Amino acid sequence: QQQPYHQRPSPPPPSPPPQPRHQPQQRPPPQQQYQHQHQHQQLQHQRQQSQPPQQQQHQHPQYQQRQLQPQHAQPPQPQQQAAPASAPSGLALPPTPTNVAAAASVPDVKQLSLLTEEEQSSIFETLKKLYKRKVRPLEVASGYAHFHSQPLNAADFDAKPMILLLGQYSVGKTTFIRSLVQRDWVGQRIGPEPTTDRFTAIMSGTADERLIPGHALAMQSDRPFQALASFGNNFLTKFDGAEINGSPFLDQCTLIDTPGVLAGEKQRMGRDYDFKKVIQWFAERADCIIVLFDAHKLDISDELRNVLNTLRPHQDKVKVLLNKADQVNSQQLMRVYGALMWQLGKVLNTPEVCRVYVGSFWDQPLVNTENAALLAREKEDLMNELSDLPRNAALRRINELVKRTRSVKVHAYIIHYLRKQMPYTFGKKEKQQRLIGRLENEFVQCARRYNLPLGDFPNLDEFRTNLLQIKDISKFQKLDKSLVKEMDRVRPLSSSAERRLARSI
The pTM score is: 0.70
Based on the number of CB atoms within 10 Å of its own CB, is 318 exposed (0-12), middle (13-18) or buried (19 or more)? buried
CB 194 within 8 A of CB 259: yes
Confidence of residue 474 (pLDDT cuts 50, 70, 90): confident
- Residue type for 215, please? H
Helix ranges (DSSP H) in 106-186: 109-112, 117-130, 136-142, 144-147, 154-158, 173-181
pLDDT digits (tens, 9 = 90+) for 13-34: 666 666 555 555 555 555 555 5
Positive or negative, the CA dihedral 486, 489, 490, 496 is: negative
- Residue type for 231, please? F
Spatial strand order in the sheet of 356-358 = 210-213, 239-244, 199-204, 254-257, 162-167, 288-294, 318-323, 356-358
pLDDT digits (tens, 9 = 90+) for 39-92: 666 766 666 665 555 444 444 444 444 444 444 444 444 444 444 444 333 333
CB 173 within 8 A of CB 321: no
* Strand 288-294 versus strand 239-244 pairing type: unpaired
- Residue from 331, 320, 318, 325 nearest 376 by CA: 325
pLDDT digits (tens, 9 = 90+) for 319-377: 999 998 888 888 999 999 988 888 888 887 776 778 899 988 887 888 888 888 999 99
Strand (E) positions, 295-376?
318-323, 356-358
pLDDT at 393: 84
pLDDT at 118: 78
CA–CA separation, 308 and 181 (whole Å): 26
Of 399 and 4, the structure prediction assigns the larger pLDDT to: 399
Burial pattern 160-177, b for ≥16 Cβ within 10 A else e, equals: bbbbbbbbbbbbbbbbbb
Q: What is the DSSP string of 225-290?
A: TGGGGGG-HHHHTTEEEEEESS-TTTTT-EEEE-PPB--THHHHHS-SS-HHHHHHHHHHH-SEEE
CA–CA separation, 13 and 10 (whole Å): 9
Of 481 and 107, the structure prediction assigns the larger pLDDT to: 481
Strand (E) positions, 337-453?
356-358
